[in-house]
Amino acid sequence: MADYPTALGASDRTTITLLGQNLADDVMGKVGFGELAFWLATQRRPSAGEVRVFEAVLAALADHGFTPTAIVTRLTYLSAPDSIQGALAAGLLGGGSRFLGVTEDCGRFLHDVLADVESPPTDDAGWDALALATVRARREAKAFIPGLGHHVHKDGDPRTPRLMAIATEEGLFGPHLSLFAAIGRVHPQVLGKTLPLNGAGVCGAALADLGLPLELLRGFALLARTAGLIGQLAEELRDPVANDIFLSVDRAARPAPPRP
Amino acid sequence: MADYPTALGASDRTTITLLGQNLADDVMGKVGFGELAFWLATQRRPSAGEVRVFEAVLAALADHGFTPTAIVTRLTYLSAPDSIQGALAAGLLGGGSRFLGVTEDCGRFLHDVLADVESPPTDDAGWDALALATVRARREAKAFIPGLGHHVHKDGDPRTPRLMAIATEEGLFGPHLSLFAAIGRVHPQVLGKTLPLNGAGVCGAALADLGLPLELLRGFALLARTAGLIGQLAEELRDPVANDIFLSVDRAARPAPPRP
Amino acid sequence: MADYPTALGASDRTTITLLGQNLADDVMGKVGFGELAFWLATQRRPSAGEVRVFEAVLAALADHGFTPTAIVTRLTYLSAPDSIQGALAAGLLGGGSRFLGVTEDCGRFLHDVLADVESPPTDDAGWDALALATVRARREAKAFIPGLGHHVHKDGDPRTPRLMAIATEEGLFGPHLSLFAAIGRVHPQVLGKTLPLNGAGVCGAALADLGLPLELLRGFALLARTAGLIGQLAEELRDPVANDIFLSVDRAARPAPPRP
Amino acid sequence: MADYPTALGASDRTTITLLGQNLADDVMGKVGFGELAFWLATQRRPSAGEVRVFEAVLAALADHGFTPTAIVTRLTYLSAPDSIQGALAAGLLGGGSRFLGVTEDCGRFLHDVLADVESPPTDDAGWDALALATVRARREAKAFIPGLGHHVHKDGDPRTPRLMAIATEEGLFGPHLSLFAAIGRVHPQVLGKTLPLNGAGVCGAALADLGLPLELLRGFALLARTAGLIGQLAEELRDPVANDIFLSVDRAARPAPPRP
C-alpha cells in the first residue's frame, strides 16, 4: 500500500493543517507571505531577521522591466487572455540559465568553494586569501566567476551593498556572503580590472547563507518573478503594449530565401 | 518610434527604481514580499491592514497537499530535474477553471451582482435581501453559486470565518465579503440545505474588497501556489515520492483494444 | 485495485504495442507522422484521403512567421537555452482563444448549428438557406461568425479554396465544410459587405468533417504549431534575432510614474 | 531600423509563403506533416527516404503509455479543462534530461566521438575498433554511454533493429548509426555484460545521420510526444482516469511532522 508522507497541507472535515500548524488559527493573519514561503521550503519557521533578508532578496529579483520574461508574459496574455496561468507559466519558463540563473549559479559556486575548505576563514584577511586563490583558479581554468560583472551597473550594482548591509544588521552575514565580498575586493589583482558584484549573485550568496536548499535557489528567483509578472500583467491591462511589440517585430520581418 | 511606458522596474548605470521607488534604499529591507506583490499589482502601496488581509489570503491558498498541481510539479521534476522553472510552470498550468478558479469566479460573481445594484445595502437585513434575490435567481437559472459548498469541509471551511474575522479587525470587510456572508446566511431558505462558504471563495471576496483587479484574482492564487509548489519540491528533494506515484500508475495500466 | 485501461503505448520485455499494433513491425516505417497523429486521436486508422486532408490542415497552420507564439519561443530560448522543452511549451501557451482559437471556435460553431438541424441539406440551395438563417441569427445576437474575416487577406485567404478543393478531391467535403462554404456565399446579403472565409476557420471545418474530437481541435493547431516552433528555433540558432527583439523593446521603455 | 530575416511563414494580401514555397499551391495537399517538420527544421526538402526514417523515429517516440509526461497532461487537463494548450505544455515540460533526453544525449555523444576522428572508419572492423576505444574511455571516466541499457527491454529494444533496418533500406545508415551499432557489438568485451541499445538512443543516432541540428534533437522527441499527448487527452476524454490517479495519491498521503 502506497504511503506518501508530507508535512505540507492536509485537511479533514473540520481542520486544515500546514507544516504542522492549524492553518486558520495559527498561520492566516499571523504569518507573512515571505515568511511562509521560507517555512514551506525549509520546514522550519524563520526568525524575523531571516525573513527580512529573504524578503530583501525577493524584492531585489521581482522585476527588472521589459526583460524577455516580462515580454513573454505580455505577449502570451495577448494571444491567450483566457489563461492567466499560461501567461505566468510562459514567463517563468524564461527563468533558465541565462537571465535568472545567476542567483543559483553564484550560490552553488560559493558553496562548492566552501565545501573544499577545511575550516572557513575567521577574518577578512583569511577571506581575501581564499578569494584570491579562488579567482586565480578560475582564471587559469578560463572560467567566469558567477555573479561578477554587470552589463549596466558597471560601477556597482546598488543592490549589492544594500543586501550586505541588511544581512549584517540581522547578524546573517555568513560564509557565502563573506567569500563573495572578498572576491569583490581581490579580483582586480588577478583580472587587472574592477568588476561589480552583481545583485543576482549577491542574492544567491545571501540565500545560501540562510541555509535554503541550493537546488531551489532558482526557485526563489522564480517566486519573486511571479509577483513581478503579475505586476506586468496588471500594467498590460491598463496600458497595453503587447500588440505594439508584436507589430513592431512583424513589420521588421523580411522574407529571405531558405538556407539549406 | 515605439514608446512603452512602465512604472515597474527601470535602471540606469547607478540606480534601480521600482514603482517610482529607489529599489535598494526604499524597497529592499523595508517592504515585505506580500506588500510588494500587492503594490506591483495596483501601483499603490497598501496599508498594513490591507497587507495582513492579502497575506492571509495567500496563506489560505498556498498549499493543499497532494493536489493535481502538486503531483504535476513533482512528476515534472522527476522527468526533468534540470529545469526547476519547468516543474513550477507545469504545476501552475493546472491553475485553471476547476481547482484554482473558484477564487476568481467567486470574486467576479459577487462583483457582477454588486454592479447591478444602485446603492449597496447598509445593514445585514439589506444584504440578506440582496443575497436572497441573488440565490433565487441562480436557482432559477439552474446555476451554481461560486464559492458555495466544499467536498471535504461539509460543516464549514475553517478558513472562511477566520478570513472574515481578519478583514473585520482591519476594517476591510467590504461589500463583496458582506454579500458573500449574507449568501451563507440565507441560501438554506432557497436550496433547502446548508452548504459551507468555501475558503477559495471567501478569498476571492476578500481580494475583490481590497480593490485588486478582477482579471488577476486567479493570478494571486497562482502566486500563493508558487510558494506551495516550491515547498512540494523541497519535500520531494528530501522524501521523494514522484517515482512511486509514477510506478503506481504504470503498474495499474491495463492494455485495452482501441475503440474507434 | 486501480485499473487504467489504455489502447496507447504498452510494452513488455520483448514487445512494444501502440494502438494494438506492434510498434516496431507495423508502425515504424509504415505509418506517416500525420497518419499516426490522427490514429492516436481517434483510435482508428485513417484512410489515405483523410490523411491528405489532415496533413493539409497541419501545413496550413504550422507557421505564420513572427506571431506572438514564435516571438515567445525565440525569447524564451534566449533566456533559457538549456531547456528546449521550455521554449516550445512557452510558445504553445499562446495558443489560446485569440490567435490559435479560431480553428476550434469555427469547428464548434458549425457543429452546434448542424446539431440543431433535423436532417442536413442535400444541395447548395439548402445549405444557402441554412447559412442565411445562421448568419441572420448571429447578426441579431450581435455576435461574430467564427472564421469569417481576415485582417490581412481581405480579398480571400488562399488556404480556403485550396483546402476545400483537397477535401473535394478526397470525397471528404462534409456538412461542416458545406455550411462554411455557404456562409461564404450568403453572408454579404446580410452583412452588406463581403468578408473572406479565413484559413484557420476552414481548417476547423475540415477537421470536424474528419470526425476528430471537437474538444481537441485546438490541439491539432498546437501540433502543427509545434513543428513551426521547431522551425523558428532552428532559424534562431542560425540567424538569431531574439536579442535584438528584446533590446528593441528595452530601448523603447519609458519610465512612467505609478498610476494607483 | 530593425530587420529580421526569415525563410519561414510570410504573407501579403493575396499570398502566403512558407520556406519559399506557395503554401496553398505547393505545400498543402502535397507535403506530408513529417516531411514539413523536417523541412522547417533544416530549410531543405528531405528525400522520400529521409522522410521515412524521420517518421519512423517520430513513431518510435510518440507514446509510451502512462509515462510521467502523460500523467501530467491528464492531471493538468483535469484541473484546467479550459486550456488544452496548458495540458500539452505541461506534459512537454517533462521532456527534460531524464525521460526524453536520451535521444539528444546519444546523438550528441556519438557526434562528439566522430568529431574527434580524422576520417571515419570504412568497415565494421574499423567501427568496432573505434567503438572499443570509446567504450573503454567512458569506462575509465566512470561515465555511462547514452543509449546503452533499458530498464524493461533487457534483451533488446525492438525499435533498435527495426530503425537500423529502415535506415539501411533507405541508404541512410551513416556514421552515427554505424558507431552506435558497433558499440552494441563490442561493449560486452569491456563491461562484462550485454546491454541493449535502446530505442531512444538509436533515434538520436538516426536523427544525427539525417543531418538534423543537434541542438534540436530533443525538439523532435517533443514533436513526437505532442502527438502522443493529444492521444492521451483523446483517451482521457472517453475513458477518464486522471481523477482516479489524483485520488489514489491523495488517499495515500500521510501527514508527517515537519523536518527542519
What is the tens place of the pLDDT at every residue in A77-130?
999 998 999 999 999 999 877 777 899 999 999 999 999 999 999 999 999 999
Contacts of A83 in chain B (CB under 8 A): 96
Q: Is the pLDDT of residue B97 over 90?
A: no
pLDDT value at residue B154: 86
Task: Check CB contact under 8 Å for C93 and D94.
Answer: no
What is the rounded distance in angstroms from the CA atom of residue D28 to the CA atom of residue A80?
27
Q: Scanning every residue of chain C, which has its alpha carbon at the shortest distance from the alpha carbon of A69?
A: C76
Q: Is residue C136 part of a domain?
A: yes
- A151 and A106 both lie in a single domain: yes
Within 8 A by CB and 6+ apart from B110, the residues are B175, B176, B179, B180, B204, B205, B208
- A121 and A187 both lie in a single domain: yes
Take residue D108 and report the three cell numbers written for it. Answer: 550528441
- B116 and B176 both lie in a single domain: yes
Shortest distance between the Cα of C190 and any Cα of chain D, in A, equals: 25
Packing angle of the helix pair B217-238, A217-238 (nearest 10 deg)? 170
Interchain contact A143–D (C-beta under 8 A): no
Task: Check CB contact under 8 Å for A76 and C68.
Answer: yes
- What is the C-alpha end-to-end distance of chain B, expressed in Å? 56
Q: Is residue B127 part of a domain?
A: yes
pLDDT value at residue A1: 65
Within 8 A by CB and 6+ apart from B118, the residues are none
Residue spans of chain C under pLDDT 50: none
Contacts of D73 in chain B (CB under 8 A): none
Contact C231, C63 (CB under 8 A): yes
Residue D231: Cβ within 10 Å count: 30
Question: Measured over all CA atoms, what is the biggest interatomic distance in chain A, rounded to whole angstroms?
Answer: 67
- C122 and C195 both lie in a single domain: yes
- C59 and C89 both lie in a single domain: yes
- B159 and B127 both lie in a single domain: yes
Question: Measured over all CA atoms, what is the biggest interatomic distance in chain B, rounded to whole angstroms?
Answer: 67
Task: Check CB contact under 8 Å for C256 and B80.
Answer: no
Q: Is residue D84 part of a domain?
A: yes
- pLDDT, average across residues B32-41: 98
Residue C70: domain span:
21-95+215-243
Take residue C139 and report the three cell numbers written for it. Answer: 447578426
3-state secondary structure (DSSP) of residue B62 = coil
Task: Check CB contact under 8 Å for D80 and A80.
Answer: no
- ipTM for the predicted complex: 0.96
Within 8 A by CB and 6+ apart from C212, the residues are C38, C41, C42, C220
What is the rounded distance in angstroms from the CA atom of residue C25 to the CA atom of residue C15?
10
pLDDT value at residue C1: 65
Q: What is the DSSP letter of A156?
A: -
Rg (CA), chain D: 22
Shortest distance between the Cα of C142 and any Cα of chain A, in A, equals: 21
Residue D139: Cβ within 10 Å count: 14
Q: Is residue C256 part of a domain?
A: no
D91-145 per-position pLDDT tens digit = 999 987 777 789 999 999 999 999 999 999 999 999 999 999 999 999 999 999 9
Q: What is the DSSP letter of A170?
A: T
Within 8 A by CB and 6+ apart from C95, the residues are A79, A80, C69, C101, C218, C221, C222, C225, D84, D85
Contact C29, D166 (CB under 8 A): yes
- C187 and C235 both lie in a single domain: no
What is the rounded distance in angstroms from the CA atom of residue C35 to the CA atom of residue D233?
17
Q: Is residue B234 part of a domain?
A: yes
Take residue A203 and report the three cell numbers written for it. Answer: 542574492
Residue among A96, A134, A101 nearest A115 (CA):
A134
Take residue D242 and report the three cell numbers written for it. Answer: 486522471
Within 8 A by CB and 6+ apart from C106, the residues are C146, C147, C180, C200, C201, C202, C203, C204, C205
pLDDT value at residue D1: 65
Interface test mutation site (partner A, options D26, D77, D83, D244, max chain A beta carbons within 10 A)? D83
**CATH code where residue D57 lies:** 1.10.580.10
- Strands A253-255 and D4-6, sheet pairing: parallel
Q: What element of type H or E holds B10? A: strand B10-11
Shortest distance between the Cα of A26 and any Cα of chain C, in A, equals: 33
Contact A249, A68 (CB under 8 A): no
- C168 and C113 both lie in a single domain: yes
Q: What is the DSSP letter of B254?
A: E
The mean pLDDT of chain A is 95
Interchain contact B240–C (C-beta under 8 A): no
Contact D160, D202 (CB under 8 A): yes
From residue D84, how far is each of C54, D91, D234 by CA, in Å?
19, 11, 11
- The model's confidence at residue B98, banded by pLDDT at 50, 70 and 90, is confident
- C136 and C202 both lie in a single domain: yes
Task: Check CB contact under 8 Å for A59 and B245.
Answer: no
Final residue before a domain boundary, out of D211, D232, D252: D211
Task: Check CB contact under 8 Å for B256 and C82.
Answer: no
Take residue A249 and report the three cell numbers written for it. Answer: 517585430
Shortest distance between the Cα of C75 and any Cα of chain A, in A, equals: 6
Contacts of A5 in chain D (CB under 8 A): 253-256
B104-117 per-position pLDDT tens digit = 999 999 999 999 99
Interchain contact D175–C (C-beta under 8 A): no
From residue D113, how far is each of A136, D139, D208 by CA, in Å?
32, 15, 13
Burial track A13-23 (b if 16+ CB lie within 10 A, e otherwise) = eeebbbbebeb
**CATH code where residue B149 lies:** 1.10.230.10
Separation of CA A248 from chain center:
31
Give all chains having 3 or more CB-to-CB distances under 8 Å with chain D: A, B, C
Contacts of C71 in chain A (CB under 8 A): 71, 75, 245-246, 249
Q: Is the pLDDT of residue A228 over 80?
A: yes
3-state secondary structure (DSSP) of residue A97 = coil
C130-154 per-position pLDDT tens digit = 999 999 999 999 999 999 998 888 8
Task: Check CB contact under 8 Å for C3 and B254.
Answer: yes
Residue among A64, A62, A70 nearest A245 (CA):
A70
Q: Is residue B194 part of a domain?
A: yes
- The model's confidence at residue B155, banded by pLDDT at 50, 70 and 90, is confident
Instruction: Report CA dihedral (D105, D111, D115, D117) to the nearest 10 degrees.
Output: 110
Return phi, psi of residue C28, to 5°: -60, 130
Task: Check CB contact under 8 Å for A86 and C93.
Answer: yes
Of D79, D90, D100, which has the smallest distance from its Cβ to B99's Cβ?
Answer: D79
- pLDDT, average across residues A194-202: 96
Q: Is residue C161 part of a domain?
A: yes
Take residue D254 and report the three cell numbers written for it. Answer: 500521510
Contact D203, D100 (CB under 8 A): no
Which amino acid, one-letter code, is at A179? L
- C194 and C239 both lie in a single domain: no
Q: Is residue B228 part of a domain?
A: yes
Task: Check CB contact under 8 Å for A260 and D44.
Answer: yes
Within 8 A by CB and 6+ apart from A59, the residues are A224, B18, B23, B27, B28, B31, B33, B36
pLDDT value at residue B1: 65
Take residue D22 and report the three cell numbers written for it. Answer: 506557395
Contacts of B259 in chain D (CB under 8 A): 238
- D133 and D197 both lie in a single domain: yes
Burial track B207-222 (b if 16+ CB lie within 10 A, e otherwise) = bbbbbbbbbbbbbbbb
Count how many domains chain A has: 2
Q: Is the pLDDT of residue A238 over 80?
A: yes
Within 8 A by CB and 6+ apart from A130, the residues are A113, A117, A120, A121, A179, A182
Take residue C108 and report the three cell numbers written for it. Answer: 464548434
Interchain contact D108–C (C-beta under 8 A): no
pLDDT in tens, chain D (260 residues): 689 999 999 999 899 999 999 999 999 999 999 999 999 999 999 999 999 999 999 999 999 999 999 999 999 999 999 899 999 999 999 987 777 789 999 999 999 999 999 999 999 999 999 999 999 999 999 999 999 998 888 889 999 999 999 999 999 999 999 999 999 999 999 999 999 999 999 999 999 999 999 999 999 999 999 999 999 999 999 999 999 999 999 999 999 999 88
Within 8 A by CB and 6+ apart from D116, the residues are none
- C111 and C174 both lie in a single domain: yes
Contact C66, A250 (CB under 8 A): yes
pLDDT value at residue B228: 98
